[in-house]
A = this chain, B = another copy of it.
Amino acid sequence: MVTSHDVARLAGVSQPTVSRALRDSPKVSELTRRRVRDAATALGYVPSDTGRALSVGRTHRVGLLVTDLANQFYTHTIAPMHLALQSLGYQLVLHTEASDTGSAAGNVADRLLSNSLDGVLLATTAMDSVLPVRLRDRGMPFVYFNRRASAVEADSVEVEARSGMRELTERVLALGHRRVGAVLGPANASTASNRELILRSTLATAGITIPDELSHRGGFDFETGYAGAHRLLELDEPPTVIVCANDVVAYGALNAARELGRSVPGDVSVTGFDDLPEARWPLLQLTTVAFDLDAMARRGASLLVDRIQQGPLEPYRHEWFPSHLVERLTLGPPAR
């Protein structure tokens, strides 16, 4: 049986450093964390003994609540989250729910509470959801992942969208776009409303607004981008750029443009948000806003494990991952 002492020896660090590194503690440098993770992987180390000893009565399972497992954003979230949890001795149990608002929230909460989980990562919570209230009332630890609801405070990992989204919008303006279209995300998702706010306020500095006819609202999915871009591009005066709520929405928009025979960015520019691996495809070359999703997923997992192990009295932690514009080939000047 491989122990944390073996990992410490191979990585050339102390045993407490191994524990800290595997929890992604900020007390350990990124270099050391990587060395410890590599050593743990090489030895096939799972910190189960220690973990179990520290946590009698726990199940070592955490839930992840998402809306749509087939969405690429979650594909690229679940993989690093799973690996981080595995290295901490926890298993990931999947939960989906189409809606977490109104009476549906009660069903979701019941399901999460009845499944003997140690904690939950909430990746779908609407700002007006009562789910966090239910979980708090029943003492279930949880972490907001890429979301925040105002009713209940909890640990969170979020994207600091302002810098990247402002950079993107300023680039749109600098290129000379004045007729700006947008495919926006769900009005009750903090991420969507936040990105929209930054987009509109930055455009406003140049006196530009997005009229209702040039905006389309829906889910964070391919179909929304596809349908939205179809509608906007078939207007008599289509927008010269379509700012999309995220990359998956932009994939839909790019495909709609192709289907309509519009060249990108010649006839219309398209932008995303997230910088998922597909955005780098030579066939897509999406101009988008990037942040470290992998690190954010791992950090969400380790915040939850910390919370499970330390209990409810520790102060909440809100961690923000910086964002920045990545220029590729889908954003250019408007056609004259």
Judged by a CB distance under 8 angstroms, whether A46 is at the interface is yes
**A111 CA to B61 CA, complexed, in Å:** 14
Taking CB atoms and an 8 Å cut-off, the chain A residues in 66-121 that contact chain B are: 68-70, 72, 74-76, 78-79, 82-83, 86, 91-96, 104, 107, 111, 114-115
Closest to A75 in B: B75
Residues on B with beta carbons closer than 8 Å to the beta carbon of A48: 114
Is the CB–CB distance between B111 and A82 below 8 Å?
Answer: no
Is the CB–CB distance between A78 and B69 below 8 Å?
Answer: yes
CB distance from A225 to the nearest CB of B (A): 12
Copies of this chain, whole number: 2
Closest to A71 in B: B75
CB distance from A119 to the nearest CB of B (A): 15
**Residue among B94, B277, B283 making CB contact with A92, cutoff 8 Å:** B94
Given contacts A92-B94, A93-B93, are A72 and B75 in contact (CB under 8 A)? yes
In this complex, how many residues of chain A approach chain B with their Cβ under 8 Å: the count is 38
Judged by a CB distance under 8 angstroms, whether A211 is at the interface is no
Residues on B with beta carbons closer than 8 Å to the beta carbon of A69: 75, 78-79, 82
Residues on B with beta carbons closer than 8 Å to the beta carbon of A255: 281-283
Judged by a CB distance under 8 angstroms, whether A28 is at the interface is no
Judged by a CB distance under 8 angstroms, whether A5 is at the interface is no
Judged by a CB distance under 8 angstroms, whether A22 is at the interface is no
Judged by a CB distance under 8 angstroms, whether A254 is at the interface is yes
Taking CB atoms and an 8 Å cut-off, the chain A residues in 37-74 that contact chain B are: 44, 46, 48, 61, 68-70, 72, 74
Residues on B with beta carbons closer than 8 Å to the beta carbon of A115: 91
**A109 CA to B226 CA, complexed, in Å:** 44
**A114 CA to B48 CA, complexed, in Å:** 10
Contacts A69-B78, A82-B94 known; list 15 others, CB within 8 Å. A44-B104, A61-B61, A68-B79, A69-B79, A69-B82, A70-B79, A72-B72, A91-B93, A92-B93, A92-B94, A93-B93, A94-B94, A255-B281, A255-B282, A283-B283
A residues engaging B (CB < 8 A)? 44, 46, 48, 61, 68-70, 72, 74-76, 78-79, 82-83, 86, 91-96, 104, 107, 111, 114-115, 251, 254-256, 258-259, 277, 281-284
